[in-house]
Copies of this chain bind each other. A is one copy, B any other.
């Protein structure tokens, strides 16, 4: 994918809130979600964010102002889930993006018609953007893998396969919810290191994980692989992703087959899917330290070296019950960037399918917790509190080692680059309730 007119920093929209320089959703972004009026029993349908508004794609589809691939894509994207649209592939995705960019631009002949398709974001509620058939979580931050490994396996923090294999595992799709999700604190078995037997009860070391979610678009047939340089044809877009984790359950259960109940009680995505195409300006060269193993051939290409990395900045904050009661803002806990990832999205896609495993449209990949190289850039409390040894001061008299009931975790993401617009991901927010 290349830069094109939709990325031009000089574009403005006749939707004035898109031009304030602060919104996550200028006309250069145009992310997708499914939505309906809050509190209504309307069917969910596809929408595109522009400033503080949602473009109701079901309304636009009936206007007949688009044609060809853009109209085909529009009709698919106006359904109750985005799966059919995601399955269409890059030509359709790009055609609809270009048509929406043109129709929403200052001076567009369609301003009058499209004005009737706008609904304020403040008045809508969101569903998952698509049916997520399978969800895979990767482990692409070497800083996270090393820090967590040192807590779970002090003698052996980074395993010998890490620098060769984009490590991943299958997660639970059914418990993925959209921003606004609430869930009870999970219960389960834990065993203290010095105890002879495990005990059962509410998790005492509840944590978030700051991740990106990557939605697959066009799939592949069972037995076929997606080559590294073809990954863009299959990656639809990105969201923020909180992979909630019960660290005490995890420590006791995870060997030999990996995390299970420690992860599958809830995971939260942001409602807006920022398209792979919208992110083209923020691509970076991907490098591998010369002292590290270089990738095997199926994970190596010039294209991946030249533009495989993505500078998506992400931060995470916690809002406690006390903060809500006192009207004080959420406390920022850390900030990092996906540019630190040890493996690129294309490498995740190529690796996942190299054995013939098949993707379907709407499948999701988690990036793994995106911790940066510095301790204060860690993407989980487990790391920030050094395994629960240090308290984090929240600045209002409260502190945290792990999450408490009533805590709301808020993740944000954005991209900034000289010569290009700042685009954002909206927010991913969810709240821990007391154990049932």
Binding site for B on A (CB under 8 A): 133-134, 136-137, 139, 149, 152-153, 159, 161, 164-165, 167-175, 177, 183-184, 186-189, 191, 197-200, 203, 222-225, 246, 249, 252-261, 264-266, 293, 296-298, 351-352, 354-360, 363, 433, 436
User: How many angstroms between the C-alpha atoms of A71 and B203 in the bound complex?
Assistant: 45
A174 contacts B359, C-beta separation under 8 Å:
yes
Contact of A133 among B168, B173, B264 (CB under 8 A): B173
- How far apart sit A261 and B249, CA to CA, in the bound complex (Å)? 25
CB-based nearest B residue for A145? B256
Contact indicator A256/B257 (Cβ below 8 Å): no
Nearest 7 interchain pairs by C-beta: A258-B258, A186-B355, A169-B257, A170-B170, A257-B258, A265-B355, A261-B355
Partner of A354 from the list B187, B255, B293, B356 (CB cut-off 8 Å) is: B187
Task: With A169-B258, A436-B225 as known contacts, state yes or no: A189 contacts B175, CB within 8 Å.
Answer: no
A162 to chain B, nearest CB (A): 9
Jot down 19 A-B pairs with beta carbons below 8 A, ordered by A: A134-B173, A152-B256, A153-B256, A159-B255, A161-B253, A165-B198, A167-B256, A170-B172, A170-B260, A170-B264, A174-B360, A183-B222, A187-B355, A188-B354, A200-B296, A200-B298, A223-B433, A261-B351, A261-B352
Docked-complex contact A184 and B223, CB < 8 angstroms: yes
Which residues from chain B contact A258 at a C-beta distance below 8 Å? Answer: 169, 254, 256-259
**Chain A binding site: helix, strand, loop or mixed by DSSP?**
loop
Please name the residue on chain B nearest to A159 by beta carbon. Answer: B255
The interface residues of chain B lying within 8 Å CB-to-CB of A436 are 223-225, 356
The reply to whether B222 and A355 form a contact with Cβ atoms under 8 Å apart is: no
Q: Which chain B residue has the least Cβ–Cβ distance from A184?
A: B223
Which residues of B have CB within 8 Å of A177?
222
Q: Which of A171, A184, A359, A360 has the largest count of B CB atoms less than 10 A from its CB?
A: A184
B255→A161 contact, CB < 8 A: yes
**Distance in angstroms between the alpha carbons of A186 and B223 in the assembled complex:** 8
20 more CB-based (< 8 A) A-B contacts, given A133-B133, A170-B170: A134-B173, A149-B256, A164-B197, A165-B198, A165-B252, A167-B256, A169-B170, A169-B257, A174-B359, A175-B356, A175-B358, A188-B354, A189-B296, A203-B355, A223-B436, A224-B436, A225-B436, A261-B351, A261-B357, A265-B356
